[in-house]
Amino acid sequence: MRTRFLTSVAITDLLSLAIAMGTASLVAFGTIFPWEAPVDLTGGLSVFPMLVFMVVSMLAMSIVTEQMSGPGVPRPTYGRMLAIGFGTFLLTTALLVMFRGSYFSRAFIGLSTAAWLVPATLHRLIRRRRPWTEKIGVITNEKELADDLDDADHAQVVWILAPGGENPGALPERDVTIAIDLRAVLSDSMAQYLSSCDVAGFTIRPFSSIYEDHTGRVPLVHLAEGWEISAPLLEVAHWLPGKRIFETTLTALTLPLWMPLGLAVAAYVKMTDPGFSIFRQRRIGMGNRVFTMYKFRTMDLDAEKDGAKFAVKDDPRLIKGGAFLRKSRLDEIPQLWNVLKGDMSLVGPRAEQVPFVDQFRAEIPFYDHRHMVRPGITGWAQVNYGYADDQAETIEKLTYDLYYIKHMSPVMDLRIFAKSVWTVLTGAGAR
């Protein structure tokens, strides 16, 4: 299903390019067919190399952006569309420079790229209104997880079979993907049924993989000893120093922007509520190392006189304007200093208070795995779930944190940044 969907998008993009090239040819050459361009305009050179280079460049960019899209359900995003268009323009230009002697028209290439954006945007708009759905037959005893999967935007669970049950007798519909719970013990009858489906050419995948793809979460009950999280992280370990350098550089370069804003917020807090503006708190970072995290104070000075507490909606401990500072995330500006110090990243699991970590690591399996990377100002769990105010919600957030650690990549960080902007604009998840 994923392959068919991506192939369909690529073919539609190529058809859109053909329409765009015809439009650009009409403007630049006076004919809808660019190969019929007047000789006096092309200097007697063939325009075919330029046309071939544009098509090849678009195919190459479609493949590259698909490979960079990361795990999960592919979606026809406008960001990928812009990357394909811009990349096609640059790659076509580079190929024409490399193969000198070919006809080159900046006007034609530029107009083709600009005109391509119109039909490319339209067909993505249509696809996003009617997204594709993967029909899934599940063999598991975890009905709650199967229900979670069915609630995902692009998944439809058409049937659920018990691993120890009987052979249903008939093969499923041809377009159904079979998800098998690898933790479950199959009866002889069910094993025979799966074998028949395999021989018949049906797609059979682990239930945990399909669950992750569609929900963006890791099913905790399917983790054995945690190596399912640590092993994939080792594959991207070589990228982590680059992530650190990029985030430190970006934070330092934008200091002239966030420093004045931070000073204004600090002055507001000082005038609104007597006391210090900066709130310091011990948090747990990478490798279970304790560090001091900085935030602008949004609560009363004695907010934690009775010990650490979760922040809740409409928290009575908030100072005047504290709710806005939290909703807009302005209270988190001082954490950029933590990024410069190396305590935190821009993107990663949320740093939690020491008392809560001591409690959760004793009660929640695999909780300490979230400390395999630096905590972040924003993260996959924050933009998908928001804040947690009890142990049950912390477990839900952990499923997102572990998904991020397992699948972290530069592209995923960019996705989280984009979601974070929307979160800040809407105030989603703030407490």
Q: How distant, in Å, are the alpha carbons of 16, 328, 365, 375 from that of 309?
A: 55, 21, 22, 20
pTM here is 0.74
Q: How many CB atoms lie within 10 A of CB 370?
A: 29
**Contact by Cβ (8 Å): 71, 212:** yes
Q: How distant, in Å, are the alpha carbons of 287, 349, 383, 397 from that of 387?
A: 23, 12, 9, 8
What string of H, E and C letters represents the secondary structure of 329-348? Answer: CHHHCCHHHHHHHCCCEEEC
181: nearest Cα among 168, 196, 165? 165
Amino acid identity for residue 348 in this structure? G
Give span(s): CATH 3.40.50, the chain: 134-215
CATH architecture of the domain 134-215 equals 3-Layer(aba) Sandwich (3.40)
Structure-token pair, residue 244 = 């650190």
Per-residue pLDDT of the chain (431 residues; tens, 9 = 90+): 566 777 888 899 999 999 999 999 888 888 888 888 777 677 777 888 888 899 999 999 888 777 655 555 666 778 788 888 998 999 998 888 888 767 778 888 889 999 999 999 998 888 877 667 889 999 999 999 999 999 987 889 999 999 999 888 888 888 899 999 988 899 999 999 999 999 999 989 999 989 998 898 998 888 876 777 877 887 778 888 889 999 999 999 999 999 999 999 999 988 888 788 998 999 999 999 999 999 998 887 666 666 666 665 666 777 888 888 888 889 999 999 999 999 999 999 999 999 999 999 888 888 988 999 999 999 999 888 877 777 788 888 999 999 999 888 887 888 888 888 877 766 555 55
Q: How distant, in Å, are the alpha carbons of 75, 149, 150, 158 from that of 133?
A: 11, 12, 10, 11
**Contact by Cβ (8 Å): 16, 54:** no
**DSSP reduced 3-state for 71:** coil
Integer distance in angstroms from the first to the last C-alpha of the chain? 39
Pairing of strands 176-180, 134-139: parallel
